[in-house]
């Protein structure tokens, strides 16, 4: 499933751990505190649980949004946007 992971975390240590967890789950960084990509349901659950253990619920926030491929392809971007094909793994499929 296609997932957006967005965070605002005050602790550098916790933030680094969340970044590593997002990358490990196969998400791509599209902005400093925004990750996007396809993720398996089990990996999504692990990311959610791990993130909940790392943040301070009084000062930090993590948002994980699921999105359909159809809605993702309809998104509009401006400026220095990310590569939609890379995020949806369409580029990788061309090389395999």
CA 34 to mean position of chain CA atoms: 6
Kindly list the strands in the beta sheet with 28-31, ordered across the sheet, starting from the edge strand earlier in the chain: 28-31, 34-38, 2-8, 61-67
- pLDDT category of residue 89 using cuts at 50, 70 and 90: low
pLDDT for 78 equals 74
Higher pLDDT, 14 or 93: 14
CATH code of the region 2-95: 3.30.70.240
pLDDT for 7 equals 96
Q: Quick one: DSSP state of residue 33?
A: T
| 1 in Cβ contact with 10 (< 8 Å) | no
**47-57 average pLDDT score:** 95
CA distance 86 to 92: 7
Comparing CA positions, the residue from 68, 71, 50, 51 lying closest to residue 60 is 51
Q: Which range, of 1-5, 56-60, 74-78, averages the lowest pLDDT?
A: 74-78
**21-30 average pLDDT score:** 93
SS3 81: coil
The residues spanned by each domain of the chain are 2-95
């Amino acid at each position: 499933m296609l997932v957006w992971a967005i965070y605002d975390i005050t602790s550098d240590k916790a933030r680094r751990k969340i970044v590593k967890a997002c990358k490990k789950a196969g998400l791509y960084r599209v902005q400093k505190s925004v990750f996007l990509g396809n993720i398996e349901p089990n990996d999504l659950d692990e990311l959610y649980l791990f993130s909940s253990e790392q943040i301070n619920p009084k000062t930090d926030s993590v948002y994980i949004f699921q999105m359909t491929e159809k809605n993702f392809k309809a998104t509009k971007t401006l400026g220095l946007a990310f590569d939609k094909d890379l995020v949806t793994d369409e580029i990788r499929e061309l090389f395999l």
